Amino acid sequence: MTNETTFKLLVVDDSKLARMAVGKLLSANPGWARAEAANADEAVAAAQREPVHAAVLDFNMPGRDGLQLAAELRGMYPSMPLAIVSANHQVEIVNRALELGALFLSKPMTAEALRQFLDTAEARLGTAQA
Amino acid sequence: MNEFIEQFLLEARELSAQASSDLLALERTPGDAGLLNNVFRAFHTLKGAAGIVDFAAMARALHAVEDVLARARAASQPLPGEDIDKCLASLDQVDAWLDAMEAIGDLPPHADARADDIVRLFAPGEHVAAEPRNASGDWAPDFLERHPAHARRARVALRYRPPADCFYRHEDPVDWLAGAPGLLAMELAPAAPWPPLARMDPFACNVVATALLAASPQQVQDFVAGRDSDVELHVIAGPPAGWPARAFDVLEVQRTILQQTAGPGAAGRLGAVGRVAASVLRGAGEAALAQAVEDAAAASIASLDPAPLSQAIDQAVQRAGAQPSSDEAPPAARANAPEEPVSRTLRVDVARIDALVALAGEIAVAKNALGHAALLARDPHRASALPAMLKEQHASLDRLVRDLQDAVVSIRVLPLRHVFQRFPRLVRDMAASLGKSVRLVVEGEATEADKTIVEALFEPLLHVLRNALDHGVEPPAERAARNKPAQATLRLRASRVGESVVVEAADDGRGLDGARIRAAAAARGLGSPETLAAMPDREAMDLIFAPGFSTAASVTDVSGRGVGMDSVRTAVERLGGVVTLESVPGEGTTVRFTLPYSVIMTRLMLVEAHGQTFGVPFDSIIETVRARRADIAPLGGERAIVLRGKTVPIIDLAGLLGQAGAPAGDEDANLVVATMNGQSVAFEVERFGGRMDLMLKPAEGLLACVKGVAGATLMGDGRVLIVLDMEGLLA
Amino acid sequence: MTLAIHPDRLELLGVCGLDDAEPLLRALIERPGAALELADCAFLHTAVIQVILAGRPRLNSLPRNILLQSLLPQGDNA
């Protein structure tokens, strides 16, 4: 399919440790590069500055939380694959993520969960490009 | 240390400090929902961080804390005081874990038991069942038999019969069991025979799950807490707790290797297996078994028959397996506790790094200019311009090097907040244990000082604050009688004064009692009553820093016995600082540390002895003396000289490095007299040299083992300068 | 939707939760003898596992997760 294409995943988490962990998992997925942001403002700035194909957002961040950021990114890129990450599976968060068309992933993220998200994202991006 | 653990330590320390200060604030304003939310978020993020580095025990403990916080948050209830205490206690454990990780660069051992303690702290009611129920444990032996591969590591067999309606309660039994501690194997069976598909209710749970776990019975009990009525546990006689977790695995591997030892190289393999097995056993504290294995290995090698060694390893495994197991006995091999952690990671402001980058650029420019000057020197017509040019370039390099040194020093500075932030909590706890009401006011915590100093200030400051709380601050009744506010005030202040950093701890307590101090000093033989009586108050008060001095009428829990203020003075002097004291009877006491801002630049006096150049730190030198040989007398195996009525030992510098001292001639001896803690020592040298400011590197390699050597540096002419460590020399 | 119904076989994909148990059960009833693909299945809820245990369909492939593999009937489902 689109092996040559390099997609970019925006990883938003106020914890550098958490971003490092996602980065490590991401390195097992060729074709994907990473952009990082430590909060919602940085994330919006990054998404304006460079093309971002998908985003993984921590729910629990100071300032605007991951869901608020997801809504904002949704406004900028209506079809961008988004995932909300949280250590707590609160039904309310899961439902609000789903309403925004975002996937809910539990934290810490597993390699399988990320790969699945990226696979779906690639499929969606592939059809969008075709 | 791997970068994840490094980053984890950075973030976890910040989160723990944040949680602690928010909890203390919450204690003052219990209904503050914002603070409660902050505390919750800090614990939540801390738990997430623990999960990322696979520190399951810490995540488990923090989950218990988080539950309590989440309940309070959901109920919009203030967090009860006892829960604040428990949260703080769990942060203490977290800090201890972080310290251990910093020391060993990996997850700390024995964390599960500590995590169990925390979980129990928050859910004491759920752990009343002390012994796991064996119930009708007849299913367990069969189950074990079906999993021979795990038999050796399994400690607990578990059977779970979830209620039929559990799916409606959002339970997923398999997923839950998958998270069980030390899961080795799981099996599912129908609780009632499977019905035909057409009559099956997909929402009724009809499975019984059995699992083999490598975790301790206590851990498993904690895990199943809340589902006790649906769970049966069967404890399997396990390996002795003293054995490191992997010992059995390693021995197993050795046995496998032994099955393939025929053919060329067999003797070598037998020897290797014997060595590995023996050292594993030794590591587990089983010296006798290790010896038996070694003997068997020798026999096997001699006969090229693996049987004796194989049997010896089998016996070792079985013998050890037969011993009673205990969860509390610490493994013998772990007896060497980790060293006191030394922080190796610095968090640096980006602006400071930028300044360094800019300086590097300027230095490159200066280097190019010097290259230009070198070209000029080759051209006889233009060489006359050289002296002026070199002078100018020297001046600019001089400035750059100074800026560079400043920039490097600024990277090493930390705000005193780093150490101050630990005290609100400690003062609170100490005051509570003494039944006193105390308010701690912290000022100037943004003041910066060298990292070494900031990190070393904790102990001496803690000591001073302890003393203030214990002896300075009056009991509430006494304060009332003196018309003082019932709540005492402790002030912790920091400020930068020129090249010094001043740290003060002040109380508004009863102040020092000159008469009592004199009496105590007399009783301890620190001076005759007459001398003491003649002493000005200020000097008398200074006596509390004398070794062994203590005026505590009663030994309390807080100050303890035997550690006096002398340890404070020693610690501060070690940092190149001084301690002073002011006290007004009835109004309070202020203890002041005056410390250098930076510890990096050391001013040295250079001396030569036996062809070697030594640097003696200037701040410890009292005088240089030219003495006649006749005045030097033998003292024990050493030599000494009497200076101003005091006997001062003479140290031979060359001897320090294991060189033979040169025979003393007839000429006068050059002595450098230095002091530390009031103790003096003289170094005999051949020549006094100049002075030098030095950025001192800690001693490395061989020198690191030499007592009395602080470090070494290369001088411009290629000679090695050895810098003396006065403390080490005089210890 | 993580149950895929192909003409000749059934396939479970990704994370299969409680909600997938009933569709799977219905599919197995409607297509006796249909084989099941699990290679791309990342997670199975207990409710889904027990439908598989009760129906014992032929398994063309197993999930990558070793624990899930160990819980599913293997080889003996003639």
Domain parsing of chain B, residue ranges:
3-122, 139-194+201-235, 247-321, 350-411, 415-596, 601-730
A114 near B CB under 8 A: no
pLDDT digits (tens, 9 = 90+) for B535-561: 888 888 888 887 767 654 444 444 444
Q: Which residues from chain A sit within 8 angstroms of residue B73, using beta carbons?
A: none
C17 near A CB under 8 A: no
- Residue B393 is classified by DSSP as H
- Is residue B599 scored above 70 in pLDDT? no
Q: Using the beta-carbon criterion (under 8 Å), do A87 and B51 form an inter-chain contact?
A: yes
- CATH classification code of A7-129: 3.40.50.2300
Q: Shortest CB distance from B202 goes to which of C25, C67, C70?
A: C25
Contact B197, B97 (CB under 8 A): no
Q: Which residues from chain C sit within 8 angstroms of residue B207, using beta carbons?
A: 46, 49-50, 53
> Token digits for C20?
């997938």
Q: Using the beta-carbon criterion (under 8 Å), do A17 and B53 form an inter-chain contact?
A: yes
- Is residue B350 scored above 80 in pLDDT? no
Interface of B with A in 47-76 (CB under 8 A): 47-49, 51-53
Chains sharing 3 or more CB pairs under 8 A with chain B: A, C
The residue of chain A with its CA nearest to that of C14 is A116
> Token digits for B443?
């000022």
- Is residue B697 scored above 50 in pLDDT? no
The dihedrals phi and psi of B419, each to the nearest 5 degrees, come to -100, -35
How far apart (Å, rounded) are the C-alpha atoms in residues B532 and B530? 5
> What is the model's pLDDT at position B345?
59
Contact B669, B629 (CB under 8 A): yes
Per-residue pLDDT averaged across B511-533, rounded? 83
Lowest model confidence (mean pLDDT) among A96-105, B124-133, B720-729, C40-49: B124-133
- CATH classification code of B601-730: 2.40.50.180
Q: Which residues from chain B sit within 8 angstroms of residue A110, using beta carbons?
A: none
> What is the model's pLDDT at position C34?
86
Q: Using the beta-carbon criterion (under 8 Å), do A18 and B44 form an inter-chain contact?
A: no
Helix (H, G, I), strand (E, B) or coil at B408: helix
> Token digits for B194?
């499977």
User: Could you tell me what percent of chain B has a pLDDT over 90?
Assistant: 14
Q: Shortest CB distance from B44 goes to which of A18, A62, A87?
A: A87
Instruction: Mention the CATH class of domain B3-122.
Output: mainly alpha
Nearest CA among C25, C75, C74, C31 for reference residue C45: C25
- Is residue A130 scored above 50 in pLDDT? no
Average pLDDT, whole number, for chain B? 79
A94 near C CB under 8 A: no
> What is the model's pLDDT at position B664?
60
CA distances B263 to B258, B269, B296, B306, Å, are: 12, 10, 20, 12
How far apart (Å, rounded) are the C-alpha atoms in residues B606 and B692? 7
Spatial strand order of the sheet with B578-584 comes to: B438-443, B488-497, B500-507, B588-596, B578-584
CA distances B431 to B89, B423, B512, Å, are: 16, 12, 19
How far apart (Å, rounded) are the C-alpha atoms in residues B403 and B503? 27
> What is the model's pLDDT at position A13?
93
More confident residue, B342 or B318: B318
CA distances B185 to B44, B157, B218, Å, are: 30, 10, 19
> What is the model's pLDDT at position B341?
37
- Which of C50, C65, C71 would you mutate first to test chain B, the one with the most B CBs within 10 A? C50
**pLDDT band of B713, cuts 50, 70, 90:** low
Per-residue pLDDT averaged across B341-349, rounded? 56
> What is the model's pLDDT at position B416?
92
Contact A37, A63 (CB under 8 A): no
Per-residue pLDDT averaged across B468-472, rounded? 88
How far apart (Å, rounded) are the C-alpha atoms in residues B685 and B667? 12
Lowest model confidence (mean pLDDT) among B149-153, B457-461, B538-542, C64-68: B149-153
The residue of chain A with its CA nearest to that of C64 is A112
Q: Using the beta-carbon criterion (under 8 Å), do C50 and B188 form an inter-chain contact?
A: yes
pLDDT digits (tens, 9 = 90+) for A16-42: 899 999 998 898 888 899 999 999 999
Interface of C with B in 40-69 (CB under 8 A): 43-47, 49-51, 53-55, 67
Nearest CA among B32, B39, B37 for reference residue B16: B39
**pLDDT band of B19, cuts 50, 70, 90:** very high
**pLDDT band of B340, cuts 50, 70, 90:** very low
Interface of B with C in 151-180 (CB under 8 A): 162, 167, 172-175, 178
Q: Shortest CB distance from B197 goes to which of C18, C25, C71?
A: C25
Boundaries of every domain in chain C: 3-71
Four-way CATH pick for B139-194+201-235: 3.90.930, 3.90.1570, 3.30.70, 2.60.40: 3.30.70
Per-residue pLDDT averaged across B201-216, rounded? 89
Q: Using the beta-carbon criterion (under 8 Å), do B48 and A21 form an inter-chain contact?
A: no
> What is the model's pLDDT at position B531?
85
B288 near C CB under 8 A: no
Per-residue pLDDT averaged across A102-124, rounded? 84
How far apart (Å, rounded) are the C-alpha atoms in residues B49 and B8? 7
Max mean pLDDT among A2-11, B155-164, B709-718, C7-16 falls in B155-164
Q: Shortest CB distance from A17 goes to which of B41, B47, B49?
A: B49
Boundaries of every domain in chain A: 7-129
> Is cis: bond before A108, omega within 30 of 0?
yes
**Which residue in this structure is represented by tokens 């078994």?**
B289
For residues B189, B194, B198, B201, the Cα torsion angle rounded to the nearest 10 degrees is -60
CA distances B338 to B8, B188, B259, B458, Å, are: 19, 44, 39, 20
Nearest CA among C69, C77, C15 for reference residue C42: C15
CA distances B490 to B244, B472, B700, B706, Å, are: 48, 10, 42, 43
> What is the model's pLDDT at position A19?
92
> What is the model's pLDDT at position B592?
95
Q: State the architecture of B415-596 in CATH terms.
A: 2-Layer Sandwich (3.30)
How far apart (Å, rounded) are the C-alpha atoms in residues B64 and B46? 12
